Chains A and B, each alone.
Chain A
């Protein structure tokens, strides 16, 4: 074939048809890709938008009675996916028999371990984490005050089902925080602490 080129022949009809083709293809595909949502999809969408509201700012709480290391790993993954602000706090409960700023070396050492582990988890997951140790008379009040100060969206707590108190099998502080907090509360109970009401018969 020779490479000689002929002149172009633009016509009004040709331009009109060209426009019509482009519009028809584009509008057909747009219509196809935007089907109305089903009831189940609407439910799912609502839940997803709730999640965005829920995970803007997350506080992970530790204390001698609240073991949250396993929940810290979950919080770090959640924070990474949702780009949330993450704060790990260790509450040292100071008994009324001591002054509010009393030295409590054993609890403070435990706090360093717990928060150190939390930082490692955060680093491994590529998220930034603030840490804080708070001395307070009541764990519940300290957490609720902190949540208010930080405008937290979610408080994450780990429980080991100590079951010391009647009506509070997850631990008194945890249940009180869950009952009174003005934001969402996620409590993680490790399965290994559970007890089945009955054992399945072995064959």
Chain B
């Protein structure tokens, strides 16, 4: 390779590799989300997961179409930039960045929760300082590993994902086989149906279990035949996660436990779902369900906490890595200052991005841990934030960031269908209305509208039900927009309008680099035919 040529990312990610990159991110969500949703939506947790799941299917389909059409590293931020322009691309990317920092904090926090199942000396309720210090230690450790360029390999991700899928399938099948009662499920749903407020809160937290599909799009540039493989891995990921989320929530509500459930703090008997959803246990609900599965639970009690902790740590690491990558991409696209592109002279890693966004995650952990570390802060949180716990605080922001970026992705999908109908779409969301737009045949995606309404509803639920989320989330966006304005103004770039780009040349280059030569030919033919039509119309 000559010195002038830029090195390209090697296309080494196989279908299983692509799936496991997504799974190691999204798969960890249920380990955190299940307890949170059970705590909020009680007997309607399964319905909350179903509602969020339907929205998630729409999101997944949108991401699948976009990642297969534009297989570049950048994910949602790139799609929105391309569909809606610079400023919206920035806001979407900034919201994804919030999610990645929460990813780091929330999953490191939950990783320690799962470890506490085997090591009670680090439990958040009994030993909050030990829990806090270990969480911070994990985050700093991940940052250091990323700075010196050490990452878990695709093979390791693939192994952990396979082990987890086998394990979760075993927990669920044996749980349903030996301990599930449909009557108990119906009874729980009838007697423990939540108030509308709690239900909305449950739905907004249920979306937490489905965040991270972005990872597949992020790795699109390294995936073999991305336009063909990504639709399959995305759809498989969507189905796998949905099956797990719906199964866990139904099992938790209708399960006859193998061991008796301990009494609550006031000495009263409690339902299994109440036990899973209380503040002490909501960070490790999957491990507790596994323990209660007849026969299998005796083994699962030991390895599921470890497996959960590993998966959560990988997910936390994907936040460290993903945030630096998004920041780097945004900086390359002149949406963020060039300092975020600065790489370490020895390790060749984006040190500034890594340290800044890991630093943000540390601040988030401090805010999350304050109520448990300081009684005065607990009182303050109780007065102003409905007494939300640390993990609730992180869940709030996670839901806010995800709902914001996903909303933009739906709009971008519609915009790209209308303004870029010539790009070949190997995967297309079903249910479209054919129409003519600017002289070209286009298709309007109805699913995107349904998904948009769903995700905006979840965003509204988040704003209504999460006192911290409705303050900290918008503050993050406003801070980002101010940063964007100052940066663009100083660089003499258009602030509200977009920089000029040649998307046609870029799309050809994207398809060529992706190895999708047949699609590249189709795109060039579409362009030629379109120009011919225009020339004929003008004549």
Measured CA separation A71–B289 after assembly (Å)? 63
- Contact across chains for B176 and A15 when beta carbons are under 8 A apart: yes
Cβ 8 A contact of B177, one of A2, A14, A39, A40: A14
Which residues of B153-194 have CB atoms within 8 Å of chain A's CB atoms?
A: 165, 169, 172-182
The stretch that binds B, out of A4-12, A52-60, A111-119, A177-185, is A4-12
- Contact across chains for A4 and B165 when beta carbons are under 8 A apart: no
Question: Is B529 interfacial (CB-CB < 8 Å)?
Answer: no
Question: Is A106 interfacial (CB-CB < 8 Å)?
Answer: no
| A9-B256, A21-B173 given; A32·B165 CB < 8 A | no
The stretch that binds A, out of B128-136, B140-148, B235-243, B400-408, is B235-243
Taking CB atoms, residues of chain A closer than 8 Å to B173 are 18-19, 21-22
Taking CB atoms, residues of chain B closer than 8 Å to A6 are 256-260
| A1-B259, A32-B232 given; A21·B169 CB < 8 A | yes
Taking CB atoms, residues of chain A closer than 8 Å to B174 are 18
Distance between A154 CB and nearest chain B CB, rounded to angstroms: 30
Measured CA separation A6–B178 after assembly (Å)? 11
Question: Is A28 interfacial (CB-CB < 8 Å)?
Answer: yes
Residue of A nearest to B234 (CB): A32
Distance between A5 CB and nearest chain B CB, rounded to angstroms: 6
- Contact across chains for B179 and A21 when beta carbons are under 8 A apart: no
Taking CB atoms, residues of chain A closer than 8 Å to B262 are 1
Question: Is B225 interfacial (CB-CB < 8 Å)?
Answer: yes
- Contact across chains for B236 and A8 when beta carbons are under 8 A apart: no
Interface string of B376-408 (1 = CB under 8 A from A): 000000000000000000000000000000000
Question: Is A196 interfacial (CB-CB < 8 Å)?
Answer: no
- Chain B interface, DSSP helix/strand/loop, else mixed: helix
Cβ 8 A contact of B228, one of A18, A28, A29, A35: A35
A-B pair number, CB within 8 angstroms? 98
Q: Max chain A CB contacts within 10 Å: which of B165, B169, B176?
A: B176
Cβ 8 A contact of A14, one of B178, B229, B240: B178
Measured CA separation A39–B262 after assembly (Å)? 61
- Contact across chains for B236 and A31 when beta carbons are under 8 A apart: yes
User: Which residues of A approach B to under 8 Å, CB–CB?
Assistant: 1-6, 8-11, 13-15, 17-19, 21-22, 24-25, 28-29, 31-33, 35-36, 38-41
Q: Would you give 12 A-B contacts (Cβ < 8 Å), ordered by A? A: A6-B257, A8-B179, A8-B258, A14-B182, A15-B177, A21-B176, A24-B239, A25-B165, A28-B243, A35-B229, A39-B518, A40-B515
- 9 smallest beta-carbon distances between A and B, as pairs: A32-B236, A14-B180, A18-B176, A18-B173, A8-B178, A18-B177, A14-B176, A9-B256, A17-B176
Given contacts A13-B180, A18-B172, A40-B515, 18 further A-B contacts (CB under 8 A): A1-B259, A1-B262, A4-B260, A8-B178, A9-B179, A9-B180, A9-B256, A11-B180, A14-B178, A14-B181, A18-B173, A18-B177, A25-B165, A25-B169, A31-B236, A32-B235, A32-B236, A35-B15
